Structure 1
Amino acid sequence: MASQNLAAMLQQGKAAEVERICLQEFKKRGGIEFQMLSYYVQATVSLGKIDQTIELLKNMSAKMPDHGGLQDQLARLYSMKGDMDLALEHSDMAIAKAPDVPDFYNGRGNLFKYMNRFEEAREAYQKTVELGPQLPMAHLNLGRVLLKLERFEEAEKCFARALELSGDELALYSGYVGSEFAAIEQYDKARQMYAKGLEQYPEDGFLHEYMGMALRRLSRFEEADAAFRTAARIHPEKSSVYNHWALLKRDNGDFDGAEDLFQKAIKLDEKNAQAYSNYAALMRRKGDLTRANELYEVSLEIAPDAINTHCARAKIHKFEKGDAAFRDLARLLGNEWLSDFDRAKLQLALAKAMEDVGNYPAAFDLASKANVQFKKLRPFDIDKHKNYLVRVAEKFPKASALPPAKPELPRLIQIVGMSRSGKSLVEEVLCHSPEVFGLDEDKGFITEMNAFLGAEAFKSHSPIA
């Protein structure tokens, strides 16, 4: 059977049929085509048969010891199980058996990238490009890791080359590249990439959804709303569209509209962990902590290793000694492949848990370690801070009274103070009044101020990013 037929079947969710066909072909041919082997592994992984597939491929490799593709797929499977030592061992074996196959170096780069060993990943991807200069994915992956290494100009050249080579897959690759820019908060560049794909494929619902996400981050709310509306028209059953659209409604203060969209996202996909987590955050902002906790619990049942969700729940969960939420944080913090940023976030969450159970020395130690890590990740630059203040002074050259508040608009109350000085407690007390609605630690003011000062203020001068 042609490989493209298997790919189409996988997209249609026919993994069991793909598994059956591949096994028949393996027996019939007496050999194993690399692409068919890849589809077979995709199918069995989606069916939850990782251990069975490992055993089968190990038996196959014993009969075909020179087949590098088997070793490459074993590396991939072991990485899914978290055994990176075995994954790298099989990756070495694949390359030793077939040193001129670009896919094997690409797989090795993926392993190193997952382990945050970015320079080694770059070397592997560079070799992929050398062996397969016409492969758009090779240039894309090299660009991705160059971004991690903050080699931005080189990364952009790689992305440009990937798009040149993408051909009929321009929409797909413009989505990939745009998402990479969005991941480093370069939302306007992301928007430009999505626009490039939409010029060729104006009815690509995925690109409209991504465009809406970028426009939301750029505070271009009307355009973002139009993009999500188009995405929903093209893909009315796609849960993620309604989840992201709900975030836009929330940002605009339309909490009822956001809640309706979160509920629709969950109805369309009961396994959408991110929608449950975002819905929980909305309930938290509305002051319904009981409902927020319930939604966080559902989200974590679906995605038990979602660090952001664990950290968000920790803010409102009352920890007790030995409870499952406490154990989950400790388990995740023991993961040696955590990024420094995720480790610091988990340390703060666990510090709050230690505080809840009265272990103040442990809480202080964890919070101190997190703060040291955050200081490394977000170093304070006094010169940039001074430049930021200069920009503020230039925009507000003289003192002036605020114009009278319009009676139809809500009055803004800003609570200002040092960290841990009781700002949240003051807000909580005020929110007991039905006339007060709390925004928690909303970053809208920071975002709007930086937009007012200019894009460069946010990138280079703002002490709060």
Structure 2
Amino acid sequence: MSIPGPQNEIETLFSIGLSQHQAGNLQAAEECYRRVIAVNPLHPDALHFLGLLHYQCGQQDHALKLMDMSLSLSPDVPAYHSNRGNVLKQLNRLEEAAAAYRAAIRLQPGNAMAFSNLGNTLSALGQHDAALAAYETAVEISPGHADAHINRSLLLLDLGRLAEAEDAIVTALRLQPDNAVAHTNHALILMARKRPQEAVEACDTALRLRPDLAEAHSNRGNALFDLNRPDQALTAYEDALRLQPGFADAHRNRARVLKAQGRTADALAAYDALLEVSPEDVQTHCNRGAALAELGRPDEALTAFATALSLQPDCAEAYSNRGFTLMDLGRVPEAVRAYRAATALRPEMAEARFNLSMALLLLGDFKAGWAEYDWRWTSRGWSGGAPRHQDLPAWTGDAAQGRTLLAWAEQGLGDTLQFARYVPVLTAQGWQVVLEVQPALLPLLSALNGPDVQVIATDTARPAADVQCPLLSLPGRLGTVEASIPAPLSLPVPPPADRTSPRPEAGDPPVRRIGIVWQGNPRHHNDRNRSVPLSRFLPLARLPGVSLVSLQKGFGAEQLQDIPDDIRIEDTGADYETGGFTETASLLRGLDLVITVDTAMAHLAGTLGVPVWVLLPAMPDWRWLTDRDDSPWYPSMRLLRQPAPGDWDSVFLRLGQSLTAAGG
């Protein structure tokens, strides 16, 4: 192509370049623009549109230089300022971008596109009111400006103004019913409005219009997950990632679903894939660390949390997760410091404060621990359900003054047995007490009934009361420290049934009947660490003078069918299986010793004063404290702890040695 000489031929060449540009023939357009500039280096339009071409090719710095040159030659062209704003926004120079759009608006007050782009920039700057005003001006100037309605709807969604957001996106869809992006954004709003089925339908519409729209696949996955269709959700995320492998939200949400399914190793791989795309995503480093901790890789988990904190030193969640992992490692004082860092950054972070309470209680710092323990009710890690009896005022520790207090069971059977000891303390202070307990404990704890106490089951009508307090909040309200822990309840128990024990041979030591419990409820959050197989106890059955008695009910009792023929473990039978806690208490009275993992049986034996040895994991529940083999809660109890996580071998070796030393 030869270079025209006269001015009109230069303009013709520029027009050809512009036509090629509009047709998407960027290489031909660039050649035309450059030929124009070769003849006239100060041709503002050629400079500007060559800059626009570079912008479209992702060469933002070069684009900005060319646009600045064109503006120096023709400062009064609104489009020059508006396009320059687009480049600056792409470079994340948002304040400068907003100034460029405002310059375009000053030159052309009716420029709806400039107002819409200004709204986008102000929204990114967090100037929400100003952004909304810009969008509203854009749609006043041009009611058919669909992009302005769409962007306004997204900002309203972010602000939680959901009804207005939906009105805006519906307006956009009326203007452009075939706009797949608008349908996809509509799905986001429908999700926020708790209408996931409609969100799926909106995504399906978007995908009929544009099957390659990754955002629609991803949003569809979110809606399907909310509809409890996780496998279909995963398929939707995988479709999104096939179309756009670097789609961070799809990676993130896929990991969320995998984690919710308990597929922690797969979730970890998804977090790793997300970090390939977004290596500085702080939340992903936190989530990855939590997954590593759950997979038993605590040192790697701590490294992940450290990375998160290096990227965001004020990340409360990273400190909280670090505390949880340190607890698993038995580094409790360090965990306390991590939890305190988290709560200093976010005082309302319930999970960190609840976990802090348990760490403090484990260390024996009862005063500080009880003060934080009420945060359990709003913690994500709390599995005890919602508080009950909230129609009554909460008791805060004030004097009785002739009133009635409802003390109610909130956690497991063992917790109720442990903390029912506070009923006599309350009556001694002048309270009338209504004690609400699980039905299974009602026959046993009905012994507390009297002039000042009424014991009821949770499934019965509630007598009148003035205030209420959950059982495990009583120690805090009463200011309990280790030295002031009340004695266990004194409960009348029927005498044990006459049971025949094996007759010892002449010269053998007397037979000691030892009750054993090896399995807790598998639904307990820590059961995998606290329970053991029955096979662990079998060597004890061969010790001289030892007769083992199964106290196992329900879960785990089936293991009795698999013991070797030469091992005898007394099975208490169907009557014990169906009997309540009173029958169990009677049976315990006839035993010489109870050996149990951390279950309600430990509390029942301790309450009755029966000698009981409790086998504890390396990181026990807070009530067992640390570094001691006795319990301030139960004088008849001995604690045998794992020296390291998972080391039951050492525990049972010590157990066998202790039984042998005691004479079998």
TM-score (norm 1): 0.57
Q: Does 1:157 align with 2:341?
A: no
Change (3 A) 1:257 1:58: same
Match of 1:85 among 163, 167, 172: 163
Secondary structure of the residue aligned to 2:178 is coil
C-alpha contact (below 8 Å) 2:214/2:239 kept by paired residues: yes
Are 2:582 and 1:398 equivalent residues in the alignment?
no
Q: 1:320 to 1:157 in 2, by over 3 A?
A: closer
Distance 2:385 2:314 in 1: 29
The counterpart of 2:269, out of the listed 192, 202, 208, is 192
- The aligned residue for residue 251 of structure 2 is 174
Over 3 Å counting, the alpha-carbon distance change for 1:26 and 1:215 in structure 2 is farther
Higher Rg of the two aligned structures: 2
> What is the deviation of 1:139?
1.6
Deviations 1:47-95 (A, max 9, x none): 4x44x54455334422221122333344344445555333322221111
The 1:422–1:135 alpha-carbon spacing in structure 2 relative to 1, beyond 3 Å, is farther
Contact 1:19 1:43 in 2 (8 A): no
In structure 2, relative to structure 1, the CA distance for the partners of 1:358 and 1:307 (3 Å cut) is farther
Percent identity of paired positions between Structure 1 and Structure 2: 17
Question: 1:113 deviation in Å?
Answer: 1.0
Residue 40 (structure 1) aligned with residue 122 (structure 2):
yes
User: Structure 1 residues 101 and 40 mapped into 2: Cα distance closer, same or farther (>3 Å)?
Assistant: farther
Query: Structure 1 residues 97, 216: CA separation in 2 closer, same or farther (over 3 Å shift)?
Result: same
Task: Please tell me whether the aligned partners of residues 162 and 173 of structure 1 are also in contact (alpha carbons under 8 angstroms).
Answer: yes
- Assess if the C-alpha contact under 8 Å between 2:112 and 2:137 holds in 1: no
| 2:255–2:270 contact (8 Å) kept in structure 1 | yes
Contact 2:138 2:145 in 1 (8 A): no
Residue 314 of structure 1 deviates from its aligned partner by 8.5
1:31 aligns with 2:116: no
**In structure 2, distance between residues paired with 1:430 and 1:193:** 37
User: Per the alignment, do residues 296 and 172 of structure 1 end up closer, same or farther by CA in structure 2, a change over 3 Å counting?
Assistant: farther
Q: Deviations over 1:139-197 (max 9, x none)?
A: 21111212222333432222112222334x35664334213432454323211212334
Stretches of structure 1 lacking an aligned partner (at least 5 in a row)? 301-305, 324-350, 364-388, 403-410, 439-447, 450-465
1:242 to 310, 313, 319: 319
Q: Give 5+ residue unaligned stretches, structure 2.
A: 1-83, 396-457, 471-553, 570-594, 609-619, 634-644, 647-664
- What CA distance in whole angstroms lies between the structure 1 residues aligned with 2:623 and 2:373? 25
Shift of 1:7: 6.2
Structure 2 counterpart of 1:281, from 330, 338, 355: 355
Distance in 2 separating the partners of 1:220 and 1:58: 53
| Contact 2:218 2:249 (C-alpha < 8 Å) held by counterparts | no
1:221 maps to which of 258, 273, 298? 298
Asked if the contact 2:152–2:168 (Cα under 8 Å) also holds between the matched residues in 1, the reply is yes
Change (3 A) 1:116 1:185: farther
Q: Which residue of 1 aligns with 2:183?
A: 105
Give the distance between the partners of 1:285 and 1:401, measured in 2 at CA.
Answer: 41
1:141 aligns with 2:219: yes
Task: Assess, with a 3 A threshold, how the Cα gap between structure 1 residues 31 and 295 changes in structure 2: closer, same or farther.
Answer: farther
Contact kept? 2:85, 2:98, Cα under 8 Å:
no
Post-superposition CA distance 1:287-330 (Å, at most 9, x none): 367656877999x9xxxxx88599999879x998599xxxxxxx
* 1:56-67 → structure 2 map (5 Å cutoff): 56-67=134-145
Q: Which residue number in structure 1 is paired with residue 600 of structure 2?
A: 416
Deviations 1:98-121 (A, max 9, x none): 222223212211121112211101
Alpha carbons of structure 1 residues 86 and 187: separation in structure 2 relative to 1, 3 Å: same
Pick the structure with more strand per residue.
2
Aligned residue pairs total 355
Task: Quote the Cα distance in structure 1 between the aligned partners of 2:276 and 2:167.
Answer: 44
Give the Cα–Cα distance (whole angstroms) in 1 for the partners of residues 621 and 152 of structure 2: 53
Q: Structure 1 pair 224/89, CA: closer, same or farther in 2 (3 Å)?
A: same
1:386-423 CA distance string (max 9 Å, x none): xxx89984698339899xxxxxxxx9863428xxx999
> In structure 1, how many angstroms separate the alpha carbons of the residues matched to 2:184 and 2:560?
49
SS of equivalent residue, structure 1 residue 100 = coil
Are residues 127 and 206 of structure 1, via their aligned partners in 2, closer, same or farther at CA, if it must alter by over 3 Å?
A: same
Q: 2:208 aligns with which of 118, 123, 130?
A: 130
Q: Give, in whole Å, the separation in 2 of the partners of 1:118 and 1:236.
A: 36
- Taking a change above 3 Å as real, the CA distance of residues 291 and 398 of structure 1, as seen in their structure-2 partners, is same
Distance in structure 1 (CA, Å) of the matches to 2:199 and 2:467: 41
The answer on whether the counterparts of 1:79 and 1:111 sit within 8 Å (CA) in structure 2 is: yes
Q: What secondary structure does 1:286 align onto?
A: helix
Q: Deviations over 1:348-385 (max 9, x none)?
A: xxx9xxx9x94789x9xxxxxxxxxxxxxxxxxxxxxx
Deviation at 1:123, TM superposition (A): 0.8
- Contact 1:75–1:88 (CA under 8 A) maintained in structure 2: yes
Check 1:429–1:221 CA distance in 2 against 1; reply closer, same or farther (3 A cut).
Answer: closer
Preserved contact between residue 293 and residue 301 of structure 2 (Cα < 8 Å): yes
Give the direction of change, closer, same or farther, for the CA distance of 1:9–1:227 in structure 2 (3 Å limit).
Answer: same
Contact 2:251 2:270 (8 Å CA) reproduced: yes
TM-score normalised per structure 2: 0.42
Distance 1:271 1:17 in 2: 34
Q: Relative to structure 1, is the Cα distance of residues 432 and 279 closer, same or farther in structure 2, using a 3 angstrom cutoff?
A: closer
Given that 1:250 and 1:282 are in contact with CA atoms closer than 8 Å, whether structure 2 keeps it comes out as no
* CA distance in structure 2 between the aligned counterparts of 1:156 and 1:26, rounded to whole angstroms: 46
In 2, distance between residues paired with 1:202 and 1:123? 34
In the TM superposition, what are the counterparts of 1:196-215 in structure 2 within 5 Å?
196-198=273-275, 207-215=284-292
| Residues in 2 aligned to 1:153 and 1:213: alpha-carbon distance in whole angstroms | 23
Q: Does the C-alpha gap of structure 1 residues 83 and 201 become closer, same or farther in structure 2, counting only changes over 3 Å?
A: closer
Deviation per CA, 1:225-276, whole angstroms, max 9, x where unpaired?
3433454556666544333222222344432222222344466xx35753x6
CA distance in 1, matches of 2:383, 2:124: 31
CA distance in 1, matches of 2:555, 2:381: 38
Q: Would the alpha carbon gap of residues 69 and 199 (structure 1) be closer, same or farther in structure 2, given more than 3 Å must change?
A: closer
- Quote the RMSD (CA, aligned, Å): 5.4
Alpha carbons 2:234, 2:254 under 8 Å: kept: no
Distance 2:622 2:142 in 1: 70
Q: Match of 1:106, SS?
A: helix
1:122 Cα offset (Å)? 0.6
Query: 1:171·1:207 contact (CA, 8 Å) conserved in 2?
Result: no
Cα distance in 2 for residues equivalent to 1:289 and 1:19: 56
What pairs up with 1:237-386 in 2 under 5 angstroms?
Answer: 238-265=315-342, 270-271=345-346, 273-274=348-349, 277-287=351-361, 291=368, 321=393, 358=465
SS in 2 for 1:32: helix
